[in-house]
Structure 1
Amino acid sequence: MPSSVTQRQIARTVLTERGIARFVELRNAGVTAATMSRMERDGEVLRLARGLYQLPDAQLDASHSLAEVAKRAPKAVICLVSALAFHSLTDQLPGQIWLAIGRKDWPPKLEAPAVRIVRFTDSLLNDSVETHIIEGVPVRVFGIAKTIADCFRYRNKIGLSVAIEGLQEALRQRRATPGEIANQAERGGVGSVIRPYLEALTANG
């Protein structure tokens, strides 16, 4: 069955290039569902979730689950505790991925990994978004100063202690200036909330 062999080669090429591929991408490259089923059965590919595939020997990044989510929800942005963890600003290992979407966006339907949706206004959703490539997948993550401000905005959801830890680490590691954080806090409507913590931490050097 030469066509099947060719399809398998195409599938391997697509997965090597992209790290993680959705079935629609494989189908567009000329690979059928039957071929993917056979490859999965033969251990040539891993099915991460419905319609999401990866090679079994792919190098897994520590942020692998972020790549999985970004593949399924490319417009969403990694936020709050997940963004803190991505930027190495917390010891917390979130059991779910915190994902920002627009007020009217449909939440992504994912079997795994677990996702916690937070709805942002368009202006806040599109502000200070960085794109990082993880396992070949573009992943949108909020920048550090914006993430700190968001953690104070959503302190009732994630806990004030987590927000303060993120602020302390960002300043200690010099990953964001007090001015940048204060500016993002003002834009997010929490300038007065964050100011006493900023002042206390910067007064201590």
Structure 2
Amino acid sequence: MAAVRPGSAEEAGMSRSGLYRAAHEGRLKRIARGIYLPADADAADWDWIEAATRRSDATICLASALAHHDLTDAIPAALDVAIPRGSRIPASDGAIAWHQFDQATFDIGRKEILIPGTGQTVGIYSPERSIADAFRLRGEVGYELAREAVKEWLRRGGKPTSLMEIASRLPRAKSPVLQALEALG
């Protein structure tokens, strides 16, 4: 079952007061402000659920996407989530770092995946997009994260042409990605 919010309680077959009563009785558990899951729901990453519930266009990015694709050993302190620039950044209880990406390039390398343990989906960037973003935003996330990710990606058989195709479509990504590929090649 997907997360239930007071505004969507009727879609789940209960009233708003019924939602709060179910939470008080222990049939629902509160995972974040205004977001509830059934008490017997499978284990799931609550930050992923919160991000997907707060924004339908939420997209896992940067270090969190690289970690999901097993391209880094770094454990992000917060879930990195991209939303289109100009969107309101939601208030959240979880450890979520909201990033605003340009609307013109927001969907490049983006796909929807199922959140493990739920029937809910969330966006995530491809390994190539995540690497290009790490190079593009290296001042914010650190150059080592990008370099480590591209080395691991190449070791697993990643094709430089597919990485350059994505990097050439993003601002400030092509040159540093090309330099890293030349240095590692």
TM-score, normalization: structure 2?
0.90
Name 1:107's counterpart in structure 2: 89
The match for 2:70 among 66, 72, 88 is 88
The letter of the residue matching 1:179 is T
Number of residue equivalences? 182
Question: Where in structure 2 are the equivalents of 1:70-149 lying within 5 Å?
Answer: 70-111=52-93, 113-134=94-115, 135-149=118-132
| SS of aligned partner of 1:131 | strand
Asked if 1:166 is matched to 2:129, the reply is no
* Cα contact 1:77–1:125 (8 A) shared by 2: no
Could you tell me which runs of 5 or more consecutive residues in structure 2 were left unpaired when the two chains were aligned.
none
Whether the 8 Å CA contact 1:89–1:170 is kept in 2: the answer is: yes
SS in structure 1 of the partner of residue 57 of structure 2: coil
Residues 29 and 54 (structure 1), Cα distance of their counterparts in 2 relative to 1, 3 Å cut: closer
Spell out the pairing of 1:1-205 with structure 2 (5 A cutoff): 17-18=1-2, 20-61=3-44, 63-111=45-93, 113-134=94-115, 135-174=118-157, 176-188=158-170, 189-201=172-184, 203=185
Once the two structures are TM-superposed, the CA of residue 68 in structure 1 deviates from its matched residue by 2.3
Q: More helix by proportion, 1 or 2? A: 1
- Code of the residue aligned with 1:146 in structure 2: it is R
Match of 2:113, SS state, is strand
Query: How much has 1:141 moved relative to structure 2?
Result: 0.6
Gap runs ≥5 in structure 1: 1-16
Deviations 1:26-66 (A, max 9, x none): 223441232222222222110111221112222224x4421
TM-score normalised per structure 1: 0.82
CA distance in 2, matches of 1:58, 1:46: 9
Name the CA distance, whole Å, in 1 between partners of 2:159 and 2:6.
Answer: 43
**Identity percentage over the alignment?**
31
Give distance in 2, aligned partners of 1:148 and 1:66.
20
Question: Structure 1 CA distance, aligned partners of 2:147 and 2:15?
Answer: 50
Return the alpha-carbon distance in structure 2 between the equivalents of residues 74 and 125 of structure 1: 13
C-alpha deviation, 1:155, in angstroms:
0.5
Distance 1:130 1:95 in 2: 23
Post-superposition Cα deviations, 1:116-140, rounded to whole Å, max 9, x if no partner, equal: 2222111211211110011211100
Of stretches 185-194 and 76-85 in structure 1, the one that deviates more from structure 2 is 185-194
Amino acid at match of 2:42: Q
